[in-house]
Amino acid sequence: MRVLVTGGAGYIGSHTLLELMAQGHEVCVLDNYTNATPEVLTRVRALSNGAVTDYVGDVRDPAKLDEVMQNFQPEAVIHFAGLKAVGESTQKPLYYYDVNVGGTLALLHAMDRAGCKRLIFSSSATVYGDPVYLPYDEAHPTTPTSVYGRTKLIAEQMLQDWAAAQPGASAVLLRYFNPVGAHSSGRIGEDPKDIPNNLMPFIAQVAVGKRAALSVFGDDYDTPDGTGKRDYIHVVDLARAHVAALNYAQTNTGARPFNIGTGDSYSVRDMVAAFERASGVTIPTQLAPRRAGDIAAMQADATRAKAELGWDAKHSLDEMTASTWAWQSANPDGYDS
């Protein structure tokens, strides 16, 4: 299929490009590089030996979207382009609504104008909010606790309404848990622009000496070791889920959410220990207060994805940490290395 990938130069998008091309799909990227660098696509092209058409532009720009749609004629769109920092979303709510909701709306209008009816959407487990029960299944109440989570939920609802009104339309809503890890080549990976908000890139930067110590945000949660537990998923498994979702969208209409996680969960201390095993480097830690808005634990029930998409996660925790280390140690300054 011809697949337009918005935000394709980002962390998850770049890994997904490689999986798409490996399965014979033709890809085109639209990215405004607010959180990426063109070097990403240079490396993706080198790794795949494949053609990646790319457009520099904003997903909120109707004229740019029309240009891409007319030139590339996509049969499906994977929509990664968006903002993802939970803390920043509280400080800049309108910016988050503009990009995450407004961007999705502009994209849907452009798809309608072009007659494109298949969309795979990057949603998030944050749409669930405080757990009423765990693991979360897709029927769990959705009461997000951050602006970021609300932008994802509103975009999901918009997609549900769009798919219901458009005969033949398909919207696959992928609710990602915690993506970590990197491509096996060590050439592409996660490259946060500022101080990492997330655990794994922070640990990786401590390991290469860019940060002195990991702050452990609370050790008095109701978990076995007191630190927060999350369902970490290897980014290559996550990328594969998009290929499965594309296949699903070819034969199914309507909108459907899917949890994309492993069903396992690991604590902060588990992650530090696993990273030390992979890297042979000791990670200094210091105890810090709980981070506002954090929950004790979250975990996916991913049985729907297995049953309906034919997808499940294959990579272990040790593969997540080893690939992160391979990427970070070879590229201590990310794509500027």
Structure tokens at 223: 């978990």
Catalytic residue among 11, 55, 128, 148, which? 148
Q: 149-188 burial, b for 16+ CB within 10 Å, e for fewer?
A: bbbbbbbbebbbebbeebeebbbbbbbbbbbbbbbeebbb
Question: Applying CB under 6 A, which of residues 3, 4, 5, 13 lies at the interface with ligand NAD?
Answer: 13
Question: Applying CB under 6 A, which of residues 28, 268, 305, 313 lies at the interface with ligand UDP?
Answer: 268
**Interface of this chain with ligand NAD, residues 230 to 249, rule: CB under 6 A:** none
284: left (phi over 0), alpha (psi -120 to 50) or beta: beta
Judged by CB, which is closer to ligand UDP: 61, or 319?
Answer: 319
Tallying the residues shown for the chain, one arrives at 337
Nearby residues of 57 by Cβ (< 8 Å), 6 or more positions away: 30, 31, 32, 64, 65, 67, 68
Q: How far is the CB of 173 from ligand NAD (least distance, A)?
A: 11
Residue indicated by tokens 């299929």: 1
Residue 24 · residue 47 · CB < 8 Å: no
Question: Applying CB under 6 A, which of residues 16, 122, 178, 205 lies at the interface with ligand UDP?
Answer: 178
Residue 282 CB-density burial (10 A; 0-12 exposed, 13-18 middle, 19+ buried): exposed
In the DSSP assignment, the letter for residue 115 is T
Judged by CB, which is closer to ligand NAD: 78, or 134?
Answer: 78
**Interface of this chain with ligand NAD, residues 251 to 280, rule: CB under 6 A:** none
Is residue 334 near ligand NAD by the rule CB under 6 A?
A: no
- Provide the mask over 27-56, with x wherever binding to ligand NAD is found by CB under 6 A and - wherever it is not: ----xxxxxx--------------------
User: Taking the CB of residue 221, how many other CB atoms lie within 10 A of it?
Assistant: 19
Q: How far is the CB of 66 from ligand NAD (least distance, A)?
A: 15
Question: Applying CB under 6 A, which of residues 82, 196, 218, 257 lies at the interface with ligand NAD?
Answer: 82
Alpha helix stretches (DSSP H) within 230-316: 235-251, 268-279, 303-304
Q: How far is the CB of 258 from ligand NAD (least distance, A)?
A: 13
User: Taking the CB of residue 45, how many other CB atoms lie within 10 A of it?
Assistant: 15
Is residue 210 near ligand UDP by the rule CB under 6 A?
A: no
| Calpha distance 211→191 (Å, rounded) | 14
| Beta-bridge partners for 269 | none
| Calpha distance 109→101 (Å, rounded) | 12
215's contact among ligand UDP, ligand NAD, none, with CB below 5 to 8 A by partner kind, is ligand UDP
Judged by CB, which is closer to ligand NAD: 40, or 163?
Answer: 40
Q: How far is the CB of 266 from ligand UDP (least distance, A)?
A: 9
Q: How far is the CB of 280 from ligand NAD (least distance, A)?
A: 26
Phi, psi of 259, rounded to the nearest 5 degrees = -75, 130
**176 catalytically annotated:** no
Q: What is the CA radius of gyration of the chain?
A: 19
64's contact among ligand UDP, ligand NAD, none, with CB below 5 to 8 A by partner kind, is none
Is residue 202 near ligand UDP by the rule CB under 6 A?
A: yes
Is residue 7 near ligand NAD by the rule CB under 6 A?
A: yes
Structure tokens at 144: 């997000």
**Interface of this chain with ligand UDP, residues 218 to 247, rule: CB under 6 A:** 228, 230
Q: Which residues bind ligand NAD (CB under 6 A)?
A: 6-7, 9-13, 31-36, 58-60, 80-82, 84, 99, 103, 122, 124, 176, 179
Q: Which residues bind ligand UDP (CB under 6 A)?
A: 178, 197-199, 202, 214-217, 228, 230, 268, 291, 294
Catalytically active residues, by annotation = 148
